[in-house]
Structure formats: C-alpha cells, structure tokens
Amino acid sequence: MIKVKDIVQRFEQFAPPAWAEKGDPIGLQLGSLEQEVHKVMVTLDVRPEVVAEAIAEDVDFIFAHHPAMFKPITKFDLSVPQNQMYAELIKHDITVYGAHTNLDNANGGMNDWLAELLQIEHTKPLMPLRYPDYYKLAVYVPVKAEDHVRQALNAAGAGCIGEYTGCAYTAPGTGYFVPGKDAQPTIGNINEATAVSEVKVEVVVAARDKNKVLQAMYASHPYEEPVFDLYRLENFGTPYGMGRIGTLAEATTVTEYAKFCKNVLGVDHVRLVTSDPGRLVRTVAVLGGSGSRFYPQALRQGADVYVTADVTYHTGHDIIASGLSVIDPGHHFEAICKSHLQSMFEQWSDENDWQIQVVSSKINTDPFSFI
C-alpha cells in the first residue's frame, strides 16, 4: 500500500525542501508520513470548506500549495475556526502537506506553469540563480572492496548527476598506515608500517542524502577507520530561481495584455498599475504569489510588464514612478497549480503503480469578491 512518505519522497525529488525560501513552513503540516493513501486531493489553500470537501470525498491526503499552518498554534481552542479545522483533519485521519516556495522555485513548477499560460517564451528565472547544495565524497578503499563500497554509496543516493545514476570516478594509489596498540586492523599488524593498494572512489552527494551516504560508507567499508574527504561543491547541479522572465511572440499593448491575462487566468478582475497603458509590451516577467517587492528585479531584467499579486498602495506609486507596468490578478491566480499538480501526481501514480486516485479541489478559496 502506498504511503504519504512515498508520494512526498517523489515530489521532493522534483521540488526539494532546500529550495524553499528561508522561514517558509513547508512540508508535513499535520498527520503522519506513514498514513496509507487511497485518495489524494490537491488544492491551493487548506480552508475549512476545503477540508469539508475532502471529508465528503473520503480523501486520505491533502497536498496544498499554501501551507495550512503559517503561524504556530499557541492554544488549541476549538472555538477558533482554524483550530476546529485541524481537529476535523485529525478526526478523519487526513494528512496535510504543503509545498510553497520550493514549488515556486522548481524548474517546471509554479512559475513555469504561469509563464506557459501567459504565453511568455524563452524564459529564464527572474531572481538571481541559485544552485542546490552538493558535496563531493572521496573515500579510500582496498582494491578488493572497491565494487562493494561504490555500489553501497550509489544505492544510498550518491552519484546522481542529472539523468545519470551510479556515477563515480576511481583512481588507484597506495595507502600507508601503522596500526596502534588498541587498533583492530583489517589489514596489517599492530605497530608495523603497512602499505596497501587502494582505490580512491569519488562520488557527488546531494545534501539531503549526505547522512544516509555516510552511513552506507561506514557500513560497507572494511576498515576500522575509513579515510575520506567530504567537501561542498559550488555551482554544481541544475540551477533554479524564483519567477520567470521572457518575451511574447508578438508585441501588444499594456492594456491588451492585461485583458489577455484576465481571460486566461480566469479571474474576475486584474489591477493595472501603469502610467502608459498604450505602451508596447515585448518582455514580460511573472512571479506567482506576493511578488511586488521584487519589481526592481523585473526592471533590471528589462521587463515591460510584471505580472504578480498583492501590490500595495505605496509600492504601486513607486512602480509608476519607475516606468514599469504591473498586472495584479490577485494572489488566487496561483490556483492554476491544481490542474498541474493533479496531472503530475497521476503520471507518477501510473509510473510507480501507486494505485491511488487523485482529485482536485473544486472550492474557490479566493477571499475577495468584487461588486
């Protein structure tokens, strides 16, 4: 039977937790990673009405873009609607997981989905590129133990480079040592200088796998005291970054592009911040969620229009003064993630024979209405 941890493990290969912004409370929100899963519901928000929907749908696992718990609970007073919602989740054995800015930062994630919908082509990250945390492990083993140790490291997750697994580099050499009086050497004798034909085995290790790989190294190595080097790599792996910026196939005006955004995003309105609604638009930046504070980055990257949400009054004035135009469809425009998440989990379910049902919440959680 598939468990929450199996689904989470696969998702975190796509959008590692380390890619989340500092302080973002992503991950397991409530419940257990050991929960068996028959039915998953994907949603933008975890609100009481969404939980009621999940209960009615007999859902075991809610996967949300916005974490359910942005603030810790100090008193579990059930007269508070949010707390009552948590109680209902516990009562009905529903586990909740939140993937927020790690999904925003992921290649092929939220901001790529938005860029595709908004017909932004030839995209690159809006914010400065970052690289995942990787280490290089070099361990010295006797020749006869080389295959055993290397295979153990690979089995623990080491040696993954892009679409390649089982990667390693080896080089022969000679190891010298003198076992002390309390040593229990695999090779050599107490207080005698020993020379051994060894192989240096080098593998790359993702930060998330570091402890597991080191445990595998110690468990598989024949020496009482394995000799190894472990150091951090810079600018290794696939870079990632928040937001996207690119170009439109055909230039249009600020006003016409704002109307286009309103239509394809399926929102009731957009707020337009501009001093020149007739200005031609060729380069567009987008950042899902509350991205107005990053408008200077859109300017530096040469954007004509920046699509993001939650622009405040005074920031709007600063944007107009800067000459940039901003289209604000409201934070709920991230709801496009639901269909993409559903498709992604269904694909993984087919590939891994999970035999789970994946549904998308039909509840509109936008707190704003317009009259």
Last residue of a domain, one of 188, 209, 233: 233
- pLDDT digit string, tens, across residues 307-353: 999 999 999 999 999 999 999 999 999 999 999 999 999 999 999 99
Of 80 and 110, more confident: 110
Q: Examine the domain organization and report whether 228 and 247 are in the same domain.
A: no
Question: DSSP assignment, residue 190?
Answer: T
Over residues 1-5, the mean pLDDT reads 95
Q: Examine the domain organization and report whether 119 and 246 are in the same domain.
A: yes
In a domain, 254, yes or no: yes
User: Which CATH number does the domain housing residue 44 bear?
Assistant: 3.40.1390.30
In a domain, 366, yes or no: no
Q: Examine the domain organization and report whether 140 and 224 are in the same domain.
A: yes
* Binding-site residue positions: 65-66, 104, 331, 334
Q: Examine the domain organization and report whether 31 and 90 are in the same domain.
A: yes
Least reliable range by pLDDT among 72-76, 155-159, 242-246, 279-283 = 72-76
Residue 162 pLDDT level (bands cut at 50, 70, 90): confident
Whether 100 contacts 24, CB under 8 Å: yes
Question: DSSP assignment, residue 272?
Answer: E
- pLDDT digit string, tens, across residues 236-257: 988 999 999 999 999 999 999 9
| pTM metric for this prediction | 0.88
> From CA 285, how far away is CA 327, in angstroms rounded?
10
Long-range contacts of the stretch 348-357 (C-beta < 8 A, 24+): 348/7, 348/10, 352/6, 352/10, 354/2, 354/6, 354/7, 354/37, 355/2, 356/2, 356/7, 356/37, 356/38, 356/39, 356/40, 357/38, 357/39, 357/40
| Secondary structure class of 98 (helix, strand, coil) | strand
Which residue, among 291, 290, 337, 330, has the nearest Cα to 63 in the 3D structure?
337
pLDDT score for 331 = 97
pLDDT score for 129 = 94
Structure tokens at 105: 């930062």
- pLDDT digit string, tens, across residues 194-224: 999 999 999 999 998 999 999 999 999 999 9
Q: Cα dist. 320→15, 25, 158, 220, 315 in Å?
A: 35, 33, 50, 63, 9
Q: Examine the domain organization and report whether 52 and 141 are in the same domain.
A: no
* Binding-site residue positions for a divalent metal cation: 65-66, 104, 331, 334
70, pLDDT greater than 90: no
371, pLDDT greater than 90: no
163, pLDDT greater than 90: no
pLDDT score for 109 = 98
Residue 164 pLDDT level (bands cut at 50, 70, 90): very high
pLDDT score for 258 = 98
> From CA 334, how far away is CA 106, in angstroms rounded?
15
Average pLDDT of the residues of the chain? 96
Over residues 288-294, the mean pLDDT reads 96
75, pLDDT greater than 90: no
**pLDDT > 90 fraction of the chain, expressed in percent and rounded:** 94
- Domain coverage including residue 63: 4-101+335-360
| Secondary structure class of 122 (helix, strand, coil) | strand
Domain count of the fold of the chain? 3
